[in-house]
């Protein structure tokens, strides 16, 4: 069993990274082979719509033909049994780096001959999100729709998707140094110490679930 985590956060050792590490720790605790990919360390772009993966030739490509730092990552993900995509939410979306990855990841499998039958093989998938937004605001700001949209498309392409999120996460270590008066820094620190560990436990349990044969 091989599980790859795709980290779309620019911040190492922070909220998203911590949750993804817990997912991988959970998976490795039951014998899975794990790998973490930091997208912000790579030089790559989103889909260029070159359509080369749709050319009528044999064997049919069905794979992204662009060559950059993402090429070996897509190869590893293609062979993996499970893939976990993680990102903070910026302006009600995943980061640009993760979105670019998703374009390259999914478009290669898009089947224009029958949209309901992508050319991808089944595998376990999960989306992990972190955010400043309180959970009570999700309906108003469209986060529930966002989560469902990604979950639905991954289910279509791979047959499975789990969703895990952590809200009101700690943004900085010392709020007094920043113009963030609209956030109660002391409350955030307390939440980080009391609630975030439970989210990490959920991430660990998710890793175990993904690694189950």
pLDDT of residue 57: 79
User: pLDDT tens digits for 70-80?
Assistant: 999 999 999 99
pTM: 0.96
User: Mean pLDDT, the chain, as a whole number?
Assistant: 96
φ, ψ of residue 15 in degrees (nearest 5) = -60, -60
For the cut 90, the answer to whether the pLDDT of residue 60 exceeds it is no
Instruction: Please give the full DSSP string across 89-154, using - where no structure is assigned.
Output: -BTTB--HHHHHHHHHHHHTT--TT-TTS-SPPP-EEEEEEE-SS-GGGHHHHTHHHHHHHHHHHH
Q: Would you say residue 61 has pLDDT above 80?
A: no
pLDDT digits (tens, 9 = 90+) for 164-200: 999 999 999 999 999 999 999 999 999 999 999 999 9
How far apart (Å, rounded) are the C-alpha atoms in residues 200 and 178?
A: 27
Alpha-carbon span 67 to 46, nearest angstrom:
12
Q: Which helix (H) or strand (E) holds 38?
A: strand 33-38
Q: Show the tokens assigned to 85.
A: 């995509």
Domain limits of the chain?
2-211
Q: How many angstroms separate the CA atoms of 94 and 90, rounded?
A: 6
Confidence label for 56 from pLDDT (cuts 50, 70 and 90): confident
**Would you say 167 and 131 are in contact if contact means Cβ atoms under 8 Å apart?**
yes
Residue 62 pLDDT: 78
Give the CATH fold of the 2-211 domain.
Answer: Rossmann fold (3.40.50)
Taking residues 90-114, what's their average pLDDT? Answer: 97
Q: Contact, 148 vs 112, CB < 8 A?
A: no
| Res 167: pLDDT | 98
């Amino acid at each position: 069993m091989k599980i790859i985590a795709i980290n779309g956060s620019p911040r190492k050792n922070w909220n998203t990274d911590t949750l993804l590490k817990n997912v991988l720790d959970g998976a490795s605790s039951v014998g899975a082979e794990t790998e973490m990919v930091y997208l912000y360390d790579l030089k790559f772009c989103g889909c260029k719509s070159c359509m080369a993966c749709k050319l009528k030739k044999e064997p049919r490509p069905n794979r992204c033909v662009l060559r950059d730092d993402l090429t070996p990552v897509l190869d590893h993900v293609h062979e993996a049994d499970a893939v976990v995509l993680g990102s903070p939410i910026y302006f009600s979306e995943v980061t640009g780096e993760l979105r670019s990855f998703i374009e390259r990841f999914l478009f290669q499998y898009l089947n224009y001959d029958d949209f309901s039958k992508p050319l991808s093989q089944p595998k376990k998938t999960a989306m992990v999100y972190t955010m400043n937004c309180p959970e009570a605001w999700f309906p108003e700001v469209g986060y529930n729709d966002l989560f469902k949209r990604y979950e639905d498309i991954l289910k279509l392409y791979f047959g499975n998707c789990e969703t895990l999120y952590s809200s009101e996460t700690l943004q900085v270590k010392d709020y007094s140094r920043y113009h963030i008066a609209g956030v109660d820094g002391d409350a955030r620190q307390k939440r980080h110490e009391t609630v975030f560990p439970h989210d990490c436990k959920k991430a660990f349990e998710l890793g175990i679930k993904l690694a189950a044969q």
